[in-house]
Structure 1
Amino acid sequence: MLLIVLNVIFFLSFLVFAYLNLDDIDAWLWVPIYMSAAICCGLVVVNLYYPTAYLVLIGFYMIYAVFLFFNKDGVWDWIVKYKTPSLVQGMKADKPYIEQAREFGGLLIISAALLINYFMVR
């Protein structure tokens, strides 16, 4: 029962995240990222589970997260160079490290949700 409740929450959250990314310049990337996670979580609610899809998605998300971590003005720069300013402040074109740190966090959240499903549904 807990797994179903978690997946309903994940499903709805990822749908909202996808919707919020519709007006971004990189919506072509982030809407499918969030929608694929939402679909996987929604399918668990109706008792459908595809472990290979979970592993492929988690692999993609983790590779992209590593890229965002080490990219110029990425998470590493946000931590070391910019001394971790708040991620909830407004996003400006002169602060791409904030956007990349937020995206990194989103990838970790999605991966955690899919990992929970991968290990708990089996």
Structure 2
Amino acid sequence: MTKKTINIILGIIFILFAVMQLNDPDGWLWFVIYIVVAAICIYSNFKSIPKPALWIIILALLAYCGFHFSLFMDYLQTDNKEELFGEMVYEKPYLEGTREFLGLLIAAFGVMYQLKKTKT
């Protein structure tokens, strides 16, 4: 597959991620995060994005990811890993924190992929 095809696929995936967030209480924040990543993936098919800009976005995503790291560690210590894919349980905040941690990590990798082709 070509880089352009992969970027279109990534863009569509992140658009779907964004739309799926709209039912959350903080959905607009996550919608913006995923739409920005989708826009980067699609836009990079037409114009090169400067590496410093990509690095700033990657570092911002990873920094925000760091706020959820302790909740992710709590999740790793649980016995029932399948509950991550179930409904949100307010007594278990590590579930939502883990989902957010993984989503930010995926978004950061989506932007990191753009570094492969960027020349400047």
State the partner residue of 1:47. Answer: 47
Q: Does 1:77 align with 2:74?
A: yes
Alignment of 1:1-122 (within 5 A): 2-70=2-70, 74-80=71-77, 82-83=78-79, 85-86=81-82, 87-122=84-119
Stretch deviating more after TM superposition (85-94 or 26-35):
85-94
How far apart are 1:105 and its partner, in Å? 1.0
Secondary structure in structure 1 of the residue aligned to 2:12? helix
CA deviation vs aligned residue, 1:28-86 (integer Å, no higher than 9, x gap): 3211111110111110122342323211111111011111002xxx1011112x23622
Q: Greater RCO between the two (CA within 8 Å, min separation 6)?
A: 2
Structure 1: 4+ residue segments shifted above 6 A: none
Q: Once superposed, what is the RMSD of the aligned Cα atoms?
A: 1.6
Please report the TM-score for the alignment, with normalisation by the length of structure 1.
0.86
In the alignment, the residues of structure 2 paired with residue 62 and residue 94 of structure 1 have an alpha-carbon distance, to the nearest angstrom, of: 26
Q: Taking every aligned residue pair, what percent have the same amino acid on both sides?
A: 30
2:48–2:118 Cα contact (<8 Å) kept: no
Please report the TM-score for the alignment, with normalisation by the length of structure 2.
0.87
User: Where does structure 1 lack aligned partners over 5 or more consecutive residues?
Assistant: none
What is the aligned length?
A: 118
